[in-house]
Amino acid sequence: MTIISKQGKKFRVPDATIHRLPLYLDKLILLQQAGVKEVSSRQLATSLDIKASQLRHDFHYFGGFSKPGRPYLVDLLVPALEEIIGIDVPLPMVIIGAGHLGQAIANYKNFERQGFPVLGIFDVDPRLVGLEIRGIPIRPQSEMESFVRENQVRLAVLTVPVQAVQEVANKLMACGVVGFWNFSPTDIKVPGTVIVRNERLAVGLMCLSFKTKRLGNLELFP
């Protein structure tokens, strides 16, 4: 449930729709690489296991991408979606906490390709400071604030221990960070002008537990 305004007009885009946009883009890029030029809503939707009407409904929030009777043009849709999602302009980020998870994220090359270059990694542990991950040096936590300010970083990945999260987030917000990708299992308190995405891995695991343990008595539809 997010409200955005575009060209003066204000409208609401459901969170559910926003979550699907990257999936659409992903499939479309694959099609583009395969040399496919046109794709209908039905083709694209079934390949993603959703209904075609939902896909058209989603696209409808952002105005038409085609004309009635004609399928979507892949080469036209890809940049349009990239602009909507916002990855047409790179959004540099910093990673706070160079533990295993922080390192794993820093190592994931695709993020850079998708417009999220990692400018810096920070940690309090002096044994980690100085190490490099894909050429990005791990810096001491004490340099975090000046670095973020100087490089005008807007997005931060939080992979620090639970107790430290809120304090780190506060400091970052003071330096201009407006988006957090939070991997600690705790909510952080932020003003309404800051976006937080909580990535609670343990929750996913428990949902899996809930479902697998009930597999025996699961009632299935055809």
Tell me if 154 sits within 8 A of 137, measured CB to CB.
no
For 26, 48, 50, 90, 174, the CA distances from 20, given in Å and listed in that order, are 10, 10, 10, 20, 32
Task: Give the shortest CB-209-to-DNA separation in angstroms.
Answer: 19
Give min distance, CB of 44 to a copy of itself, in A. 14
Which 45-74 residues touch DNA, going by CB under 7 A? 50-54, 56-57, 59-60, 63-72
Handedness of CA 178, 180, 186, 192 (dihedral sign): positive
Q: Is the dihedral of CA 28, 208, 2, 42 positive or negative?
A: positive
Question: Min. distance of Cβ 13 from DNA in angstroms?
Answer: 8
Contacts of 35 (CB under 8 A, 6+ apart): none
Q: How far is the CB of 153 from a copy of itself (least distance, A)?
A: 11
| Interface of this chain with DNA, residues 13 to 42, rule: CB under 7 A | 14-17, 39-42
CA nearest neighbour of 75 among 29, 142, 23: 29
Binding site residues, a copy of itself, CB under 8 A: 2-6, 10, 15, 18-19, 21-23, 25-26, 49, 84-87, 89, 91, 99-101, 103-105, 107-108, 110-111, 114-116, 154-155, 178-179, 181, 185, 187, 192-193, 195, 197, 199-215, 217-221
Binding site residues, DNA, CB under 7 A: 1, 14-17, 39-42, 50-54, 56-57, 59-60, 63-72
